[in-house]
Amino acid sequence: MSDQPQKLWGGRFTGATDPLMDLYNASLPYDKKMYAADLEGTRVYTMGLEKLGLLTSTELTEIHRGLTQINDEWISGKFEEKPGDEDIHTANERRLGEIIGRHIAGKVHTGRSRNDQVAVDMRLFVRGELTKVSNHLRTLIQTLIKRAEKEIDYLMPGYTHLQRAQPIRWSHWLSMYATYFTEDYKRLQQVIDRLNVCPLGAGAIAGHPYGIDREFIAKELGFKGVIGNSMAAVSDRDFVMETLFWISLFMNHISRFSEDLIIYSSGEFHFVSLADAYSTGSSLMPQKKNPDSLELLRGKSGRAFGSLAGFMMSMKGIPSTYDKDMQEDKEPLFDAMTTVEHSILIATGVISTLKANNRDMEAALSMDMLATDLADYLVLKGVPFRETHYISGECVRAAEESHLSGIDQLSLDQFQKIDKRFGPDVFQTFDFERSVEKRDATGGTAKIAVLKQLHQLQQYLS
């Protein structure tokens, strides 16, 4: 046997590969971030081989010593990549041979294919990364909750169709996104749970030829079980698509969150002021303070959507089981996972440091936003809501035609000309705090209802 490193698949081939094909085929530049997962998979797999008697205890000790050294080299930045290192698997195995000798290193792949090797590496890596993302997301939600509790007394306009609708609490808006993100958090736990099954020991397609204990390997690697069909084990990338879908859905929420804050931070609203750390200036206009952090969050959502759509198109037409097309799973997935992790950290920074301008929020409240409360006033006097809705609309129109600043400026006589059932107590309706506090049913914007929402979210996270 030649002392030169051999391609894992090279025995069948005698001709040289087109150098461009080598470059086109290589994945090490981006899959080397899975080095720890690859080393851990090999560590446990060789334990399974030792149980079968295919490795001696001395050989296993040497292999594990070499794997530890390789891991240290990656961590310290001293790992030397070489031509012929097609991917992280070949790079690690080549280096293992240099450390402990190719004779012993050549045994680590016994009964294992790169098909099940890459599948387990991907699951280990994604599980670890999504666990990190989960922790960051938890922090974002808790930041929203703490802010909402602290600023529970701030009132602001609530919007539908971007038109002022009804008065709400600023903390109700914060609770809305804490609720969205908590649902994302729940879905993420489900994604992690579903991907947490082990493909290792499935071989290339047909299963393991030496009867390796797959349940033992799964347990040692922290998986809840094994994938029961060897063909499915090596070809399943549903967990990649599901991860990309989760990222896309979360980024949709973070984009809407960003859009709201971009609007609220504009001079026309001035409900919030972003910290300098999350803003930039203009190269021409000295007065500008641009919400670049939020615009990037909004923009990167499109990047995440593209990763999902692109990989789904790569997968949709390939035959079973493993095909090289599946190598296209890594770049979109890795990019999307980096994007979502950074996005959560930026969003947490933005929401924890911005200033809520409660005076401007309250100044934006207008009496026309209490038109529904005026209708509710008559409902409590026994008038059907469909009738009160019409009557309230007549009051709004009367105020506009009289060039009044709001419906609260109508006199009692004007109210009674519209409907005799209006009494002197009608003017108690025109109180924003009172309007907000009336909505105390579960999910409402009254203080007690908002605090209940926040408590329930915090209770779930705890």
pLDDT (tens digit per residue) in 223-235: 999 999 999 999 9
* Average pLDDT over every residue of 18-37: 78
- Say yes or no: 251 and 343 in one domain: yes
Residue 109 has pLDDT above 80, yes or no: yes
Enumerate residues 6+ apart whose C-beta is below 8 A from 36.
Answer: 71, 74, 125
Structural domain includes residue 448:
no
Residue 69 has pLDDT above 90, yes or no: yes
Contact (CB, 8 A) for 142 and 348: no
Residue 393 has pLDDT above 60, yes or no: yes
Burial profile 362-401: b = 16 or more Cβ within 10 angstroms, e = fewer: bebbebbbbbebbbbbbeeeebeeeebbebbeebbebbee
Known catalytic membership, residue 282: yes
- Say yes or no: 140 and 83 in one domain: no
Known catalytic membership, residue 161: yes
Structural domain includes residue 413:
yes
* Average pLDDT over every residue of 122-127: 98
Say which residue, 336 or 327, is predicted with more confidence: 336
pLDDT in tens, 186-206: 999 999 999 999 999 999 999
Q: Which of 266, 282, 320, 402 is catalytic?
A: 282
- Say yes or no: 321 and 309 in one domain: yes
Dist CA 175 CA 373 (whole Å): 23
The label of the residue with tokens 């992790």 reads 341
What's the pLDDT at 29?
Answer: 82
What's the pLDDT at 28?
Answer: 84
- Say yes or no: 316 and 186 in one domain: yes
* Average pLDDT over every residue of 298-306: 96
- Say yes or no: 234 and 355 in one domain: yes
What's the pLDDT at 1?
Answer: 41
Where does a domain end: 78, 105, 132?
A: 105
Dist CA 124 CA 51 (whole Å): 22
The label of the residue with tokens 């070809």 reads 235
Residue 4 has pLDDT above 60, yes or no: no
Return mean pLDDT, the chain. Answer: 93
For residue 163, list its beta bridge partners: 160
Dist CA 370 CA 406 (whole Å): 10
- Say yes or no: 79 and 174 in one domain: no
How would you classify residue 84: left for phi > 0, otherwise alpha for psi between -120 and 50, otherwise beta? left
Say which residue, 237 or 282, is predicted with more confidence: 237
Dist CA 461 CA 138 (whole Å): 7
Residue 146 has pLDDT above 90, yes or no: yes
pLDDT in tens, 278-288: 988 666 676 67
Dist CA 350 CA 347 (whole Å): 5
* Average pLDDT over every residue of 132-141: 98
Structural domain includes residue 186:
yes
Where does a domain end: 330, 363, 396?
A: 363
Contact (CB, 8 A) for 450 and 168: no
Enumerate residues 6+ apart whose C-beta is below 8 A from 182.
Answer: 141, 457, 460, 461
What's the pLDDT at 269?
Answer: 97
Structural domain includes residue 14:
yes
pLDDT in tens, 37-65: 999 999 999 999 999 999 999 999 999 99
Where does a domain end: 363, 383, 412?
A: 363
What's the pLDDT at 319?
Answer: 93
- CA dihedral for 407, 411, 412, 414, sign (positive or negative): negative
What's the pLDDT at 280?
Answer: 80
What's the pLDDT at 10?
Answer: 52
Structural domain includes residue 214:
no
* Average pLDDT over every residue of 314-343: 93
- Give the CATH number for residue 246: 1.20.200.10
Token reading at 68: 């530890």
CA atoms lying within 13 Å on the CB side of residue 184: 29
- Say yes or no: 330 and 420 in one domain: no
Token reading at 208: 């393991």
- Residue 105: exposed, middle, or buried by beta-carbon count in 10 A (0-12, 13-18, 19+)? buried
- Say yes or no: 375 and 352 in one domain: no
Say which amino acid occupies 76: S
Dist CA 32 CA 312 (whole Å): 23
* Average pLDDT over every residue of 346-365: 97
Token reading at 454: 């926040």
- Say yes or no: 355 and 375 in one domain: no
Dist CA 249 CA 243 (whole Å): 10
- Say yes or no: 124 and 253 in one domain: yes
Say which residue, 169 or 22, is predicted with more confidence: 169
- Say yes or no: 336 and 201 in one domain: yes
Structural domain includes residue 462:
no
Number of domains in the chain: 3
- Give the CATH number for residue 68: 1.10.275.10
Structural domain includes residue 294:
yes
> According to the 3-state scheme, what is the secondary structure of the chain?
CCCCCCCCCHHHCCCCCCHHHHHHHCCHHHHHHHHHHHHHHHHHHHHHHHHHCCCCHHHHHHHHHHHHHHHHHHHHCCCCCCCCCCCHHHHHHHHHHHHHCHHHHCCCCCCCCHHHHHHHHHHHHHHHHHHHHHHHHHHHHHHHHHHHHHCCCCEEEEEECCEEEEEEEHHHHHHHHHHHHHHHHHHHHHHHHHHCCECCCCCCCCCCCCCCCHHHHHHHCCCCCECCCHHHHHHCCHHHHHHHHHHHHHHHHHHHHHHHHHHHCCCCCCCEECCHHHCECCCCCCCCCECHHHHHHHHHHHHHHHHHHHHHHHHCCCCCCCCHHHHHHHHHHHHHHHHHHHHHHHHHHHHHHCEECHHHHHHCCCHHHHHHHHHHHHHCCCCCHHHHHHHHHHHHHHHHHCCCCCHHHCCHHHHHHHCCCCCHHHHHHCCHHHHHHHCCCCCCCCHHHHHHHHHHHHHHHC
Residue 434 has pLDDT above 60, yes or no: yes
Q: Which of 161, 283, 403, 462 is catalytic?
A: 161
Token reading at 453: 């929402």
What's the pLDDT at 422?
Answer: 95
- Give the CATH number for residue 419: 1.10.40.30
- Say yes or no: 305 and 388 in one domain: no
* Domain membership of residue 174 as a residue range: 114-209+228-363
Structural domain includes residue 443:
no
* Average pLDDT over every residue of 364-376: 95
Q: What percent of the chain has pLDDT over 70?
A: 93
